[in-house]
Amino acid sequence: MRLLKTPLATLALATAGLALAVPAHADGEVNIYSYRQPDLIKPLLDEFTKETGITTNVLFLDKGLVERIQAEGANSPADVILTVDIARLTEAEEGGVTQPLVNDIVNKDIPEHYRDPEGHWFGLTTRGRVVYASKERVTQDAITYEELADPKWKGKICTRDGQHSYNIGLIASMIAHHGEAKTEEWLRGVKNNLARKPDGGDRDQAKAIMAGECDVALGNSYYVGLMMTNEKEPEQKDWAAAIKVLFPNNDDRGTHVNISGMALAKNAPNKDNAVKLMEFLSSGTAQKIYAEQVYEYPVLPGAEPSEIVKSFGPIKPDTLSLSDIAANRKTASELVDKVGFNDGPET
């Protein structure tokens, strides 16, 4: 876990708990517990502080966010939860660490199908689970998820851990469309087409394609934009240049998409500031930052993706409901283990 400091934040994180480091009732502050990577949300929080003068204190965790808030109980300093994936949003709600927000501004900016009916969570952006394909070795410009199980891709597919939330969401969508039995058969086929054991993050898959370790890989759409514009690690530009983005099933049901989102923490000590932040994150200003600097698809009606994202080509999002994806995630996780997906291809 890491504490992200915005320019006005001067707090240190005590390992015993954020409550020891963050004055829970401090004026002019808002405390954020985040599964979102610090570098992705920093531009948004900097702009929020610039507009409001409210300091943002961020606790970044890679796991255990809900359990931490539960353990902190009524004294939890968490005001806003930021996370990726519908499962993690519903996990927070079901874990009893959120409270409903009924807010005209937020409800106006975020379409109904991207928010919880009772106001426990709100989607902020969408991202496609796309296929990265080698520009050099893959001639086709269209693909389906189903096709990834075709033996023609044997030894040519890379992906990250099958249990990662990004892949579980995709597998859950396959269950919703095809049923458990057919999805198991498909997943075995994909496993046997892997070039190696699942490993690394989405960017690492692009790196592997450039290195010739595989020809296609599963990855989120926004990582391509981040690689293309990465000045701190310019080698990532080469990874991005080696691949093209294919939007699976664009010619039929559409590409699987998931969301990033926010929730109001159950015992938010700075509730007024938390609501101001949530209103800001749903606003046109923040949605433009998401589009232009994070390379995600904004949910605000009428908001456009960045020119870089447009350069990938048009996306036709799968209209499968988020609730259907969430409902199948447990079965998806069980299938990953059942087929031994993370063991890699059978020799």
> Which tokens hold the place of 220?
């989120």
State pLDDT tens for residues 98-157.
999 999 999 999 999 899 999 999 999 999 999 999 999 999 999 999 999 999 999 999
State pLDDT tens for residues 24-52.
444 599 999 999 988 889 999 999 999 99
Question: What integer pLDDT is reported at residue 321 of this predicted model?
Answer: 86
Domains and CATH numbers, the chain: 2-123+259-300 (3.40.190.10), 126-256+310-343 (3.40.190.10)
- CA 260/CA 58 separation, integer angstroms: 16
Q: Is residue 21 scored above 80 in pLDDT?
A: no
> Which tokens hold the place of 207?
């790196």
State pLDDT tens for residues 129-145.
999 999 999 999 999 99
pTM of the model as a whole: 0.86
- CA 209/CA 80 separation, integer angstroms: 38
State pLDDT tens for residues 281-318.
999 999 999 999 999 999 999 999 999 999 999 999 99
State pLDDT tens for residues 226-240.
999 999 999 999 999
> Which tokens hold the place of 7?
């320019």
State pLDDT tens for residues 184-214.
999 999 999 999 999 999 999 999 999 999 9
